[in-house]
Structure 1
Amino acid sequence: MAILGKLLANRRAGERTLAWHRPNLAGDGVFELTSPDFEHESFLTTPHAGKRVGGQDRSPALAWSAPPAGTAQLLLVVEDPDAPMSKPFVHAVALLDPARTELAQGALDGAETVAGVQVLRSGFGRGYMGPSPIKGHGPHRYAFQLFALAEPITTVNGAPVAKAKPPAVLSAARALGRARIDGFYERS
């Protein structure tokens, strides 16, 4: 598998393909997103990695400062822009009640209902999927992006938001502001 990683070393979706850079999500307001489980631009620990690589698929705990006034809903998106694809791999998508200011570890796994958290579809299935990059592909960035939405998303293209794929949810959102924290994971 390490050979595949080396062959694909220069193939990555890229930073510019993240939800962070979509015009509809580039609100003017800025707020802070942090985690007690990792510092910005540090490495994620094994429990937060995918089960395929020995992790537990446990989403890290997150906390954030007050979003901009008028926030109707929060949209959390976790993407890997280093995936060897044309678009980032989506590791989690969730809609959050704007009164929430934090998420506990595992709140995005989708197995249990957490008040004020609606876990949506991700790259495969529903809920948080921990990092499991190709062995030998180098470090992968995992962008935890939180968007303060001006209007809540309940439907996408006439269907309930719970059935929508991540690109459709991202297209339906309009952000007032945003926050971000990045972690890394690598399999050598």
Structure 2
Amino acid sequence: MRLSRSGSSTRYRAGSGLPPSSFHTKNNTQRQLLYPSSPRYNLVFYFNLFFYHLSAQIEFSSLFTLLWLSSKRFLKGNKMTGILDYLQCALGKLLYRVRGHDSKQIIRSAAFRDLPEPNMTLEAPECGPTGSVLLDFHTCLAEDSKGRFPELRWTSPPQGDVKEYVLICEDIDLPIPRLVIHHGLFYGIPPTITTATYADIKQKKDAGERLTRSNWKYVPNLTGNSYIGPAPPLGHGLHRYVFTIIALNEPLQFAQGEQVSKQMIKEAMVGKVIGWGQWVGLWERPWPK
């Protein structure tokens, strides 16, 4: 990957385990503690995610549990925020070389074996061509700290009859070895749709199932929501957020009420992919003002 700066813009030129259910809490106090609205969020998130995967590797899950509980007690007050920023930055710099998990993104799964190259165009008019910097309101710096989904538009594949689209956003520079997380994963998008907006991907409240306001289905991300904007740790540099649109010649079928996962989506797409395209947005967390 090479990065070049021109004026105020940056261009990119191309050259999974999940945490336990502790992250998906129904307790509002805990959810607020973990939510990106707090400047403390990233330190806790990446420390615990790192140690969770470490403990999983060495079969010592109590290590994660201990750190998780101690961090929640430690962060009950707001006076340590400045110190935590420095600690988060130090951790980000320490793990700076842990990035570039390109081989783990969804297009490297078995479903894309017969179509290794993109044949669709995906654009983000608000930001510019692929490799452009995401705007602050797309990220954790937004007023609501959640980040708005960037408006996207795409072309249809040159061949084949599209029955459904799948749309995903992945962070492929997460400072955790061999791990790519999704910020948003949507399926059941009608074949007549060629755009996606913030309104489309917002969760439908009291729907009884995982649906957006446009009746698209979604797989929850690590926060348990349909979408969350970029929030990389301080000091870890630029992250690439890869938005991928996927065209299928058959709709995905799952059992009624089944809790669909990203892995299940990957497996269900095998033999159905007839097109895909990508747009890459860049963003680096600035030092808090």
| Shorter-chain TM-score tier | 0.7 to 0.9
* Aligned equivalent of 1:169: 265
Q: Distance in 2 between matches of 1:124 and 1:169?
A: 19
* Aligned equivalent of 1:131: 230
Q: Deviations over 1:131-179 (max 9, x none)?
A: 0001100100000001111221131xx5646x21212212221311101
Distance change in 2, residues 1:24/1:124 (3 Å): same
Distance change in 2, residues 1:76/1:26 (3 Å): farther
Alignment length (residue pairs): 185
Q: Distance in 2 between matches of 1:150 and 1:160?
A: 23
Q: Conserved in 2, the CA contact under 8 Å of 1:80 and 1:140? A: yes
Q: What TM-score, normalized by structure 1, do the two folds share?
A: 0.87
Structure 2: state its 5+ residue gaps.
1-87, 206-211
Based on CA coordinates, which of the two structures has the bigger radius of gyration?
2
Once the 2 structures are TM-superposed, how far is the Cα of residue 89 of structure 1 from its aligned partner?
Answer: 1.4
Once the 2 structures are TM-superposed, how far is the Cα of residue 27 of structure 1 from its aligned partner?
Answer: 5.2
Q: Conserved in 2, the CA contact under 8 Å of 1:141 and 1:184? A: yes
* Aligned equivalent of 1:35: 124
Structure 1: state its 5+ residue gaps.
none
Give the residue type in structure 1 aligned to 2:93.
K
SS of structure 1 residue aligned to 2:198: coil
2:133 corresponds to 1:21: no
Normalized per residue, which structure has more helix?
A: 2
Distance change in 2, residues 1:184/1:53 (3 Å): farther
Q: Deviations over 1:34-64 (max 9, x none)?
A: 1112121011011111369974421111111
* Aligned equivalent of 1:89: 181
Give the residue type in structure 1 aligned to 2:240.
R
SS of structure 2 residue aligned to 1:141: strand
* Aligned equivalent of 1:62: 152
Q: Distance in 2 between matches of 1:143 and 1:32?
A: 13
Q: Distance in 1 between matches of 2:181 and 2:214?
A: 27
2:138 corresponds to 1:48: yes
Q: Deviations over 1:1-52 (max 9, x none)?
A: 1101001111126111111222313553611111112121011011111369
Q: Distance in 1 between matches of 2:200 and 2:127?
A: 16
SS of structure 2 residue aligned to 1:107: helix
* Range moving further from structure 2, 53-62 or 69-78: 53-62
Normalized per residue, which structure has more strand?
A: 1
* Aligned equivalent of 1:180: 278
Distance change in 2, residues 1:22/1:181 (3 Å): same
Greater relative contact order (CA < 8 Å, ≥ 6 in sequence):
1
SS of structure 1 residue aligned to 2:263: helix
Q: 1:77 aligned to 162, 168, 171, which one? A: 168
Q: Distance in 2 between matches of 1:76 and 1:45?
A: 20
Identity among equivalent positions (%) equals: 25
Q: Conserved in 1, the CA contact under 8 Å of 2:142 and 2:148? A: no
